[in-house]
Amino acid sequence: MLGYYSRLSSEVYDLDKPIGSSFGDIEYYMERLASCKGRILEPASGTGRLLVPLLEKGYQVDGFDLSEEMIEVCRRNCKERGLAPKLFNAKMESFSIDAKYAAIVIPTGTFLLLHEREKSLQALQNFYSHLETGGRLIVDLHVPSNIEIEKTSTRTWQAANGDTLTVESKKIEVDWIQQYFVSQGRYERWRDGRLIETELERYPMRWYGVEEFKTILEGIGFNEISVSTGYQFGEYPKNADSIITFEAVK
């Protein structure tokens, strides 16, 4: 069983995507949530890249993640800023809490890590169940424009203690019928020229057609569904080069 956002990969994630770093999504989500008066839930909240700025803006935000290591990094990031949100370990398709939310938000395609269709449908139904009447789901997806198998890329970071962290990643499998591809990442920690820690991570990612996903949301019971691209609200996607954002109301 390969690791999935374990200790080393969570540290790299925090270095690569620090709190507040934006792909245009933080500004977009702030704008779309401006009228939100109730609690917000961020499934797969990771290290707090979006969650922390929302909290600092005054929103009431809870978060959860499958990776306990990611939650621990998020707790530390929050504590350093005097924040203490409700954070817990759970899966998108099976979490169950005694709360209803005014909004559930999942940026940057994280939802697609649920590569098994049935589990992704269960997650969407679960989100619907945990929304208030009139509550909104805002979720980013993307579709693959180019999948090159076994093409390797390597990136490097410097940790606070001087260690060198590297990740070598490549796509190793694609299933065009079931609509997912599998990537593999090898994370390494180097100190004084010696390899002292390594993790191997395998993560599948699903994709959906735009109208396919809209139809799924309608089938669950969502209405007032909007489709946007490039974090420009209401701009229907013309190609697969940008993030596609769905917004739907219970």
3 — pLDDT class (breaks 50, 70, 90): low
Q: Which of 204, 201, 193 is nearest to 168 (CA)?
A: 201
Nearby residues of 171 by Cβ (< 8 Å), 6 or more positions away: 147, 148, 149, 150, 151, 181, 182, 183, 184
Distance (Å, whole) CA 119 – CA 235: 29
Count CA atoms closer than 13 A to 250's CA, side-chain side.
20
pLDDT at 197 over 80: yes
- Tracing tokens 């076994």 back to the chain, one arrives at 150
Percent of the chain with pLDDT over 70: 98
What is the average per-residue pLDDT within 135-147?
Answer: 93
**Cα 194 from chain centroid?**
33
pLDDT at 1 over 70: no
Distance (Å, whole) CA 85 – CA 50: 13
pLDDT at 71 over 50: yes
Distances (CA, A) of 166 to 11, 72, 144, 205: 11, 21, 25, 22
pLDDT digits (tens, 9 = 90+) for 17-58: 999 999 999 999 999 999 999 999 999 999 999 999 999 999
pLDDT reported for residue 7: 87
**Cα 250 from chain centroid?**
21
Domain 7-143+209-249 has CATH 3.40.50.720: no
pLDDT digits (tens, 9 = 90+) for 86-99: 999 999 999 999 99
What are the two backbone dihedrals, phi and then psi, of residue 78, each rounded to the nearest 5 degrees? Answer: -70, -45
The tokens describing 175, both together, are 């299933």
Percent of the chain with pLDDT over 90: 92
Supply the mean pLDDT for the chain.
94
Q: Which residues pair with 170 in a beta bridge?
A: 184
Own/partner long-range contacts of 123-129 (Cβ < 8 Å, ≥24 apart): 123/43, 123/92, 123/93, 124/216, 124/217, 124/220, 125/220, 126/92, 126/93, 126/94, 126/95, 126/96, 127/43, 127/92, 128/220, 128/221, 128/222, 128/250
Q: Which of 79, 88, 84, 76 is nearest to 41 (CA)?
A: 88
- The domain ranges of the chain are 7-143+209-249, 153-205
